[in-house]
Structure 1
Amino acid sequence: MVANFTRQLEEGVLSFLLVFMTLLVFVEVVLRFGFNTGIHWAQEVTLHASAWFVLFGVSYGVKVGAHIGVDAVVRLLSPQTKRIVSIIAVLLCLVYCALILSGAWVYLAKVYKIGLFMEDTPTPGIFLWLIPEDLWWDVFKIDPEEPLLPMWFAHGPLLIGFILLAYRFIEVLKKLITGEWTDLHMADEAKEALEEAGIDTDIISEEEEAKHAKEGAK
């Protein structure tokens, strides 16, 4: 139930961001070319919303196996060797996540300490209504005189996105170590193309496994 809720939450957030960006750009185009006006914060919000979409989507891509992998050499390896290579690849990905998370934490801490704001985007009114005014600056770094959206909030998904990505890689690592998976389960464009052409790729996979088994026996 928890896994299903998490999946629905991720898909809901990604769907909302995609629909929100599309509608915002559509409205901005209509206002600009139809009425010679516009929303002054639309470009900035669209840019950050697209960044949020990428940062949340990259971990979801690992979960569903949507990322494209360069595995021309890996496919030539035996299942056991392929699993070892995949484990090394995941460990390197986790190192990368750790480096980005470390830098993101330092960056966000400095932005929060300095108290930087977005150039055009105001803080949503619902936030100002829910947060007591005496906490605007001391806790959330919102300027009472000009309540623009704090930059630490707008750039916060940089940290959240890579935490989710690291979590997904840990899940993949667990499956590789336990033997549940023998590779990273990346998207296979060649396989999809063959299936669209009506070629049964499962038969090809079985032939490859039989070939590796014979070579191992020798």
Structure 2
Amino acid sequence: MSASWKYEPKTKLGRFVHEFEENAIALMLGLMTALTFINVIRRYVFNASLIWSLEVVLVLFAWLVLFGIAYGFKVTAHLGVDAVTNLLSHRGRRIAGLLSAAICLFYAVLLLKGAWDYWAPFAELKPTTGRWFPTGIDWGARGTSYFETDQIPMPGFLKWLEDAINYGETYSKMPRVVPYVILPISALLILVRIVQATLRIIKGEQNSLIVSHEAEDAVEEVAAMNREA
């Protein structure tokens, strides 16, 4: 990555998406913190607990990780080792960046296929066939929309899922299709972000895919503070 490159949304849509992603990450962190804090107070002060809070926190943590991976690709926040590529010429670094981007694109496609195939039966949708790449639709696959979470209550605003995917049968707990939906969403976002990063390499805006220079930037900031002092 070019050390000077920094993500900046250029359009209103880009700014909206960027703000939405940051707010979503902040909301998930806030909900995790609030639920954990409330449950600790209830347990040690009132000798009670929210049975479902631990599972909700686990779901939110999984959402945060998967959603954050795609966000990290966008803002080039992932760490990488560039000790070898820094020895190459500018052209060599660009070629190495394109090669790594191609490998990441290949992996992202596999990840998207696997994520869809895992989630689809929970939504009464059909997974794909093929071990590596989609070769068709598995029309004989059995749906598993009746699978529920262990403790999370069924919210009233999701009752429509009973008619939509569960053939009118009621849910006593939240169906797994809801927490697992982050799998195909995050996999698709990761693929899109890698494509965007690859285009930046092709345009010459950065040399590699996701190398972050946080340590170098921190050292430079400390040095600048010492010079000012």
Give the TM-score taking structure 1 as reference length: 0.82
Alignment of 1:1-218 (within 5 A): 1-112=12-123, 113-115=143-145, 116-128=147-159, 131=160, 136-141=161-166, 144-198=169-223
Q: Is the 8 A contact 1:141 1:150 kept in 2?
A: no
Higher helix share: 1
Task: Give the corresponding residue for 2:3.
Answer: none
CA distance in 2, matches of 1:149, 1:51: 16
Q: For residue 143 of structure 1, report the CA deviation from its aligned partner.
A: 7.0
Which letter maps to 1:9? Answer: F
CA distance in 2, matches of 1:118, 1:193: 43
Q: For residue 88 of structure 1, report the CA deviation from its aligned partner.
A: 1.0
Structure 1 gaps of 5+ residues are 200-218
Do the aligned partners of residues 34 and 75 (structure 1) sit closer, same or farther apart at CA in structure 2, a change above 3 Å counting? Answer: same
**Number of matched pairs:** 193
Do the aligned partners of residues 119 and 176 (structure 1) sit closer, same or farther apart at CA in structure 2, a change above 3 Å counting? Answer: same
Q: CA RMSD in A?
A: 1.8
Larger radius of gyration: 1
Identical amino acids, percent of aligned pairs: 34
CA distance in 2, matches of 1:155, 1:146: 16
Do the aligned partners of residues 142 and 22 (structure 1) sit closer, same or farther apart at CA in structure 2, a change above 3 Å counting? Answer: farther
Query: 1:15-71 CA deviation, whole Å, 9 max, x = no partner?
Result: 110101000000011111111111111011100100001111111111112111111
CA distance in 1, matches of 2:86, 2:168: 56
Structure 2 gaps of 5+ residues are 1-11, 124-142, 225-229
